[in-house]
Amino acid sequence: MVSIDNVYKTVLNILNKENRGYIVPREFNTLANQAQNEIFEGYFSLRNYAASNDSDYSDIKKNVEEKIALFENEETIPVGAFGNPAGNTTASYFPYPSNFYRLGSAVADLSPDKYHITEVSNKDVTYINRSPLMKPTTKNPVYTRHEGGLVVHPSTGIDNIIISYVRKPNEPQWIGGTQAGQVVANTGAAGYQNFELHPSEEHELVVKVLAYAGVIIRSSEIVQAAAAKDQQITQSER
């Protein structure tokens, strides 16, 4: 986890050093969320081309996996849980949790037994259901992806599934308060939220927020300097 107060103070110090400008908390929070999401999404593309090695601490691919692991969840979902956000009326529709980002795997929970659920395409599921040999059963179920959730086949007999998934990071939020006449972080305020990224991302968060802030205050110097530093960070991760 990265302290949002540290990032905010660093950004303000850099912007104010030469009277380049100022961003208010509301603007900063918007930029902070954008920066966090950009870094978070980058994990998944970086994982695809990052090289592995035998080092315990400098294996880039292993380090990326460690960062993603901070957001891995497992959830038991009853059929029709969490409302029905996609408007699906299928009896075997299992909606994703509200913080869902990417699916790992799914199993049918037929306690005490559990059975892996195989993904099939919407194009193929009709043929599979019609095939005497391939027709899904509760011990050999399949699922198709639907907007906002999964549709499991067979349509009866499975009331709960367990999914392993990557959740979205919580939206960062800096909230200020007053202490001795100075505006300081009110860390006890409802809604105050630090960045959820790995501590090693603090520097890149500062750089990305500065790049966005430079656009807001119309400072080409800030934008260019931040872009150059961001490119340097990207190259070092490969």
User: Of the ranges 8-17, 42-51, 76-85, 127-136, which one carries the lowest mean pLDDT score?
Assistant: 76-85
Both tokens of residue 66? 């460690």
Average pLDDT over residues 73-86: 73
User: Of the ranges 89-93, 112-116, 126-130, 211-215, which one carries the lowest mean pLDDT score?
Assistant: 89-93
Quick check: 208 pLDDT over 70? yes
Produce one character per residue of 65-101: b if its CB has 16 or more CB atoms within 10 Å, e if not: eebbeebeeebebebbbbeeeeebebebbbbbbeebb
Quick check: 3 pLDDT over 60? yes
Quick check: 140 pLDDT over 70? yes
pTM of the model: 0.81
Q: How confident is the model at residue 85 (pLDDT cuts 50, 70, 90)?
A: very low
- Higher model confidence: residue 7 or residue 238? 7
- Higher model confidence: residue 182 or residue 12? 12
Average pLDDT over residues 149-177: 94
Distances 154 to 82, 143, 160, 192 between C-alpha atoms, Å: 21, 9, 13, 44
